[in-house]
Amino acid sequence: MNYKGPYALFGNGPDPTHPIIKDRLKSIKTFFCVDGGADKLLKRGYTPDIILGDMDSIVQKESQYNCKIVPLKDQSKSDMEKSLSWCVKNEIKELDLFGFSYGRDDQHLANLLIMKNYSDKMKMKMYTDNSLIICINEHTNFASKSDQKISLFSFNKDTKITTTGLKYTLNNSGLSSPSHGISNSAKGSSFSVHPSDWVWVIMNYMQ
């Protein structure tokens, strides 16, 4: 595949407008769009390189997009899941996700779980209008700002987590409840998370 990174998968969710997202989009070299996400990307002044999905929500005729169209027809999976599977098959190793933080809670939760299921195959960052979401299972360093709100969620109670650079430190310990890892905060310009298994790291944008 003759496309260059950084790569982004642009969904058909609510149009992201946060300044951090606007800045990140400027650095993307290749846009994969999920169905009607292509129309939202065009409205932002960017051009889709490939449109993926069942094409049930695009507003123009396929021939009018002037890019490659890849039909993904499996109705047992969402367009996001089918698109991530396509990216894996095409050896995409890192991917930014935009437009997947839906107003509907069921769709957003499903997208987070799909993201987790594919995080062992590629590195992903999900940008919403409120936060940056990353799913990791190995020691990872993060850039931050002082007092930035950071939340951690584990997938099972036996996961051990060690952190540095956060106000409330974990030292090879688990989260005692689903809310235990919520609303921590960065002490400075960086922090690290070292989990024994998969965890979500949610970095809330500074106001």
Any residues with CB less than 8 A from the CB of 188 and at least 6 apart, and which? Answer: 144, 146, 165
- How far is residue 130's CA from residue 17's CA, in Å, rounded to a whole number? 10
**Strand, coil or helix: what is 203?**
strand
**How many whole angstroms from its chain centre is CA 109?**
12
Q: Buried b / exposed e across 71-106, counting CB within 10 Å, b at 16+?
A: ebeeeeebbbbbbbbbbeeeebeebbbbbbbbeeee
Q: What is the pLDDT of residues 65-124, one digit of tens each?
A: 989 999 998 878 898 999 999 999 999 999 999 999 877 889 899 999 999 999 999 999
For residue 51, the number of C-alpha atoms closer than 13 Å in the C-beta half-sphere is 27
CB-based contact 99:129 (threshold 8 Å): no
**Strand, coil or helix: what is 177?**
coil
pLDDT at residue 101 in the model: 85
What is the residue whose two structure tokens read 């070299």? 29
Q: What is the pLDDT of residues 131-165, one digit of tens each?
A: 999 999 999 999 999 999 999 999 898 999 999 99
- How far is residue 24's CA from residue 40's CA, in Å, rounded to a whole number? 16
Q: Per-residue pLDDT for 130 more than 80?
A: yes
pTM summary value: 0.94
- How far is residue 111's CA from residue 124's CA, in Å, rounded to a whole number? 12
CB-based contact 193:152 (threshold 8 Å): yes
Q: What is the pLDDT of residues 182-192, one digit of tens each?
A: 999 999 999 99
Any residues with CB less than 8 A from the CB of 2 and at least 6 apart, and which? Answer: none
Query: pLDDT confidence of 57, banded at 50, 70, 90?
Result: confident
Residue 187 is classified by DSSP as S
